[in-house]
Amino acid sequence: MATRLSSPLIRNQASVSSIRRNSARDKAGVAHAPASLMQLQELAGDSAAVRRLDTWQHSANRLSSPRKGPRGGSSLPLQRITILEADATIDQNHDEWMDWYRTTCVPAFKVIAYRQGQDFPTYLGGMDENAFLTAVRELHRDAPDDRDTIRSVSELWKKEQIVKSGAYPDMLHKVNTNLLVNKTQKNDPGLPAFIQQYESGQMIWSRGMSVGHFAYGQLRSTGVLASEGTADVPTFTMGNNNPSRWLPGLNDVATADGLAHTVGRDEPGLREIANRVEIPIGMTVQYPVAPPTYVAYLNSGEQVIRGPVHNPTVHRVICLGPNGYSYKHQGGALDDLPPAAPYQGAVGAPEMQAWEQNAVNWMQNH
């Protein structure tokens, strides 16, 4: 099974889109991956690699930031850069990029392979270090020509199909719909396809979360997925001082599912148990989004819907143990999900010990 790596532009805790598994194995009910994202995080946790990751993140933020107006204020970008232009930027930093793989990624895989009782080629399915680095180089070639997509975004504006929203002053909206658009993303190449999915009724919104998330217990017991706030403001949830009723997610199940694969640094109790025994750590739910449902396109990686949401469907439950990931409960009932873990439970806490026993029992019965 191929293992897809995330780029150095992505932080450890957010390296979610790379965690995709073979669908045929998933359908079998339980599929194991030899590597644990948790192990990679531990290996890289306090190393110089983190500083390099921060440098790359800074570069990414600079490329995607709004332009400054003549008096220092932010103004909307005239046009987002195309994939071809982004690829050229990557090429300019090729040496540093490859250095990250050589000095951080390859050693990390070697250590993980050793812990699994394997060598590097065996762990990567017969691919030695040179073959692996060659494959990495191939990731950055043949970028698609998306200039036609950029032009199609411009056509939306020429036809006045996206206008300023009266109900939500900080947003734009697609005429005659409840689809909102972040002002800074009006030229995003992914926007036309997103609009088409919404208007055709083919959009499936996905949300991944930890079993220790504050909203998980309510979802399991009542079938209601709700936010911590009530403000009717479609915005990013992280760092927001005015908690909103809008729920974060996106129309890409693989990326949403990746979030449920992570064990946060604020969940030490959950992390410690998963190092010893296989337990459920997260799950992904899905919900159809079509007119007149309210949805806001914040960017290609996050689209929020106005909550609460009732009775979403279970995509699957993600489990993690010493031998890696496994998957259960595909399409299962909400009220039969794994027990909710204590929020940010501490290592060895009595409530974490009680949850561990309940979680192990759930694993044995599913």
Show the tokens assigned to 185: 């993303």
Bridge partners (DSSP) listed for residue 231: 244
Q: Are the CB atoms for 205 and 249 separated by under 8 Å?
A: yes
pLDDT of residue 28: 38
pLDDT along the chain (366 residues), means of 10: 37 35 38 44 46 48 44 43 62 73 84 82 83 76 57 62 90 93 90 92 96 95 93 86 92 92 92 96 96 95 95 96 94 95 95 97 96
pTM of the model: 0.61
pLDDT of residue 158: 59
What's the full length of the chain, in residues? 366
pLDDT of residue 25: 39
In angstroms, the CA 328 to CA 331 distance is 9
In angstroms, the CA 222 to CA 142 distance is 48
Q: Are the CB atoms for 214 and 201 separated by under 8 Å?
A: no
pLDDT of residue 253: 94
pLDDT of residue 68: 44
- Residue in the structure block whose two tokens are 């805790």: 13
